[in-house]
Structure 1
């Protein structure tokens, strides 16, 4: 599987009800072994997560089902990430 860096930048106003839905979405991805890590930025401007998927098309399909995206409360950008270990 490939890795994809998903950046989420908040767009005001944020609906606070979306945050727990987004967190549940990330927890579900972790349970599936598809979310390696995630977290918010210290300045509260957004956050990021590292997604595992077979292709950019699959990664976009997953990300586009994230409540952060479907709510329209965040600008979401996905990058295929070539990590070095």
Structure 2
């Protein structure tokens, strides 16, 4: 599996009630062995997680199921991360 950095940046319309759903989603990914690490940015502007997937298309499909994305409260970008 490859690694993908999923970055989430809060939008003004971000609903705080979605945060527990997002955390549950990340915990499910962790239990599946797909979420290597995750956490918020110190300035509260968003956060990131390191996702394991077979391809960029699969990583995008997973990230787009994240409640942070489906709620419309965060901008989500996915980058393949080539660890040196």
Partner Cα distance (1:81, 1:3) in 2: 5
Q: What do you get for the CA RMSD once the two structures are aligned?
A: 0.5
Residue matched to 2:48: 48
48-57 or 13-22: which moved more?
13-22
Shift of 1:16: 1.2
SS of 1:17 mapped into structure 2:
helix
- Could you report, residue by residue, the CA deviation over 1:21-42 in whole angstroms, capped at 9, with x for unpaired residues? 0000000000000000000000
Residue matched to 2:14: 14
TM-score (ref. length: structure 1): 0.97
Partner Cα distance (1:17, 1:72) in 2: 13
- Could you report, residue by residue, the CA deviation over 1:43-80 in whole angstroms, capped at 9, with x for unpaired residues? 00000000000000100110000000000000000000
Structure 1: which 5+ residue stretches go unaligned? none
Structure 2: which 5+ residue stretches go unaligned? none
Residue matched to 1:60: 60
- Matched residue count: 84
Partner Cα distance (2:33, 2:19) in 1: 21
